Structure 1
Amino acid sequence: MTQAIHAALPAAVVRQARHLAAAGADPVSAFLYDLPALRRHVQRLTSCLPSGVELFYAIKANSEAPLLETLAPWVDGFEISSGGEIARVAQCSRRLPFVFSGPGKLDADLEQALEQGVELVHVESLGEIRRLGAIAGRMGRRQPVLIRINPALPPHLATRLSMAGGPTPFGIDEEELAQAVALVEQSPHLALHGFHIHAMSHQLDVERHIELLDWYLDKWPSWRALAADPRLVRCLNAGGGMGVDYLGPAQFDWERLCRHLAARLARLELDAEAPRIRFEPGRLVSAFCGYYVMQVLDLKRSHGKRFAVCRGGTHQFRLPAAQGHDHPVLHLPAPGNTAARTEDGEEWSVVGQLCTPKDVLTRRAVLSGLAVGDLLVLPMAGAYGYNISHADFLCHPRPRQVFLEPEASNNNTMESTTCCTS
């Protein structure tokens, strides 16, 4: 079991997890982020991009400063959706282009975005077009925009987390698109640069995603033709939505998607109609670099089921509950731990400290030789984990966040201090 653990976890993660457990007065819960692995991963993603295709990182997946600093040399920009996220990208040492998406933008957020030099605002409604035009006018700006479209999608292209193709707060219905284009063009303070469409989230099937992109590109000429001068409409933001398989070894085939897109765009270039494509994934970029570490507090049986009660829980790592899946768990025995160990091959529900039966991270983890004081490590915790969690529920301390740099050791890490103070 120990050899399998060491094969599955980077050595730096193992060292740091054990160091945190040994150094703390209380049992540990913490997030560890492998920044060298993140760097290698984003380099691979960007190396596959065809000419004329850009990769922006959607920072909603994880906006911690060390992650943004790691990604900044490799991505083309950042996608943000709030005033708080504008502040995050503004603090990054490498200033990259950023775009502003999402419904319900405050006037103050739009003003802040314009002050910070936002490249494109993705307008989500007719009312937002009017508000942005008025704000840009007061500030003496001419702001480039993309219109976010909510099209009527073919039924087979919908997912369980669809963000277009039906009633939704996202984007402008396709039947109102001509009106939206005219409204942008009537404003002397707005400039239409293209369209944004984000229809799928957490999509694992690359062939369906290819179908979706082909459908976008088939529609592109008719959307573009709505503009008074279609030559000025060049950008198609195809969103993100590429998923991560938390339960199996197969992952989204990014290389296949990029190969197909390269061939499709090459054909479009012959007609001078190829748009500049932009992707804005979040989960696909940052999920794999993160690890959530929990120390076992108690082992118990109830009505024939086994429970490993651990420090932390879904208030710190909400992803499994939000996704509705049993998260993978790796067992890291504590060196020198003399506590009694369980039998091999038993199934355990891994739970946290909360006073709710929903505080479950996995229900059928097969764990051998488990003991109180051991560590459990949940991989693929770098996106939509801590940052979407209800961290103040029960007022437990915040988890530690440790950012591992190359050849990480106890003296070569960065730590974000997130413990509660009172």
Structure 2
Amino acid sequence: MKTSQPLHNALLQPYPVEDHCLVIGGIPLTRLMQRIGRTPFYAYDRRLIRERVSLLRQHLPQGVHLHYAMKANPMPAVVQHLAQLVDGIDVASAGEMKIALDTGITPENISFAGPGKSRQELACAIAAGIVLNIESEQELTAIIELAEQMSLRPKVAIRVNPDFELKSSGMKMGGGAKQFGIDAETVPTILARIARTNIDFEGLHIFSGSQNLKAEAIQESHEKTLQLAVQLTTASPVRVRTINIGGGLGIPYFPGEQPLDLAVIGSNLGKLLAEVAPALPGVRFVMELGRYLVGEAGIYVCKILDKKVSRGQVFLVTDGGLHHHLAASGNFGQVIRKNYPVAIGNKMSMTDTEIVSVVGPLCTPLDLLADRMMLTRAEPGDLVVVFQSGAYGLTASPLAFLGHPAPTEVLV
């Protein structure tokens, strides 16, 4: 029978512990639960988000603009907080666009990516003056038609599906046949068409993958991305003002995974940008990140309702589960299920441990937050904490499944 190792200290470093209790945003977990009034809840630490942006500013080449991919965590308070720290926001729906515009970030620094945008979404984006990342030739046709009807000049960029992928990435977004973007070999035809219109062309968005923990793979992707950018820009009949090189920076979730060395990645990117500068004069470069900005700054907290033993296996039954945190259950992209880092948040430094499985209240064996994991010995009323929960948590989960109440979200 396999068991997971206890939560390793590297993932605990951002969170102090006082009197056995986890502290987030300067507030002991039990006090925070009292303030909120109930479990389950997500809590995001504004200090950790601010420190992550500062770390990126320290290591990325000067002049590289930092954008937040809101899909990672669209909680309005989180987006408002990040809007004061980053240079722009990427959205993936009209709903996200509204949240981004409410922050006061200028429309030209908001971009809208994603396949299958409706005509209504396109019209809203054109009216707002944000940058539309074109995902297909048909989408371009719709934009041209709407621009004429609305008597407005839309801002557009081309999302490029490169002919390479980000190796070792958790989610491959480029290379091969993809629903995302326009194949690199087709881009020159689209650029020629744009040149014959009154569209305000912004540039290129080249994104090849996400959740990568291998610096050498990210370095190779940056090199290939910039080579492709030079090739497309040199042949473009319209001026390219911005090149979005995507993100792809991953965070560690599981035992054995190590955080990225940003200094190495930033230094290499600086060298590459210097090499392509003569071919791309006046071009603004953007790095777009989501999970890397917020993933490690969030926790999910639920309360133990019952403790039971079934044929020798201990189960902690909680009021949370996959309907709130699909990713932690292993059902959001994992091929082989692994445990997220989990702890008993009000008994952090206690040494009495046991092997348990943490489950939720749903009528499915998939409702599993920790499988045979070594945790501090816990009882009903104790608080289970799932770390690395700041990205792709609540809004990436089947909240309506079985009709349980929605969890609260707080930024502290």
* TM range, smaller chain: 0.7 to 0.9
1:150 and 2:157 aligned: no
Secondary structure, counterpart of 1:11 in structure 2: strand
1:237 and 2:244 aligned: yes
Q: Choose from 194, 199, 209 the match for 2:218.
A: 209
1:62-211 matched pairs, under 5 angstroms: 62-95=73-106, 97-118=109-130, 120-153=131-164, 157=167, 159-188=169-198, 190-211=199-220
1:297/1:308 contact within 8 Å kept: yes
Mapped to 2, the partners of 1:149 and 1:94 lie a distance apart of 25
1:224 and 2:224 aligned: no
One-letter amino acid of the structure 2 residue matched with residue 326 of structure 1: N
1:277 and 2:285 aligned: yes
1:42-53 matched pairs, under 5 angstroms: 42-53=53-64
1:25-64 matched pairs, under 5 angstroms: 28-64=39-75
Q: Which moved more, 1:6-15 or 1:215-224?
A: 6-15
Mapped to 2, the partners of 1:49 and 1:57 lie a distance apart of 15
Q: In structure 1, what is the equivalent of residue 3 of structure 2?
A: none
Cα distance, 1:297 vs structure 2: 1.1
What's the TM-score once normalised by structure 1's chain length? 0.85
Go from structure 1 to structure 2 and tell me whether the alpha carbon gap of 1:209 and 1:90 turns closer, same or farther (over 3 Å shift): same
Residues 138-161 of structure 1: CA deviation (Å, up to 9, x unaligned): 22222232211212216x836452
RMSD of equivalent CA atoms: 2.6
One-letter amino acid of the structure 1 residue matched with residue 181 of structure 2: G
Gap runs ≥5 in structure 1: 336-341, 405-422
Cα distance, 1:192 vs structure 2: 3.0
One-letter amino acid of the structure 1 residue matched with residue 297 of structure 2: C
Cα distance, 1:163 vs structure 2: 1.2
Go from structure 1 to structure 2 and tell me whether the alpha carbon gap of 1:160 and 1:291 turns closer, same or farther (over 3 Å shift): closer
Moved over 6 A (4+): none
Mapped to 2, the partners of 1:42 and 1:273 lie a distance apart of 27
Cα distance, 1:179 vs structure 2: 1.6
Q: Choose from 354, 365, 372 the match for 1:346.
A: 354
1:366 and 2:374 aligned: yes
1:394 and 2:394 aligned: no
1:319 and 2:327 aligned: yes
1:46/1:75 contact within 8 Å kept: no
Gap runs ≥5 in structure 2: 1-5
Work out the percentage of aligned pairs sharing the same amino acid.
Answer: 31
Cα distance, 1:136 vs structure 2: 1.6
Mapped to 2, the partners of 1:343 and 1:50 lie a distance apart of 45
Secondary structure, counterpart of 1:157 in structure 2: coil
One-letter amino acid of the structure 1 residue matched with residue 213 of structure 2: L
Cα distance, 1:43 vs structure 2: 2.2
Q: Which moved more, 1:253-262 or 1:88-97?
A: 88-97
What's the TM-score once normalised by structure 2's chain length? 0.87
Mapped to 1, the partners of 2:36 and 2:184 lie a distance apart of 56
Cα distance, 1:233 vs structure 2: 1.4
Cα distance, 1:365 vs structure 2: 1.9
Mapped to 2, the partners of 1:397 and 1:278 lie a distance apart of 39
Mapped to 1, the partners of 2:76 and 2:230 lie a distance apart of 39
One-letter amino acid of the structure 2 residue matched with residue 214 of structure 1: E
Cα distance, 1:359 vs structure 2: 0.6
1:268/1:274 contact within 8 Å kept: no
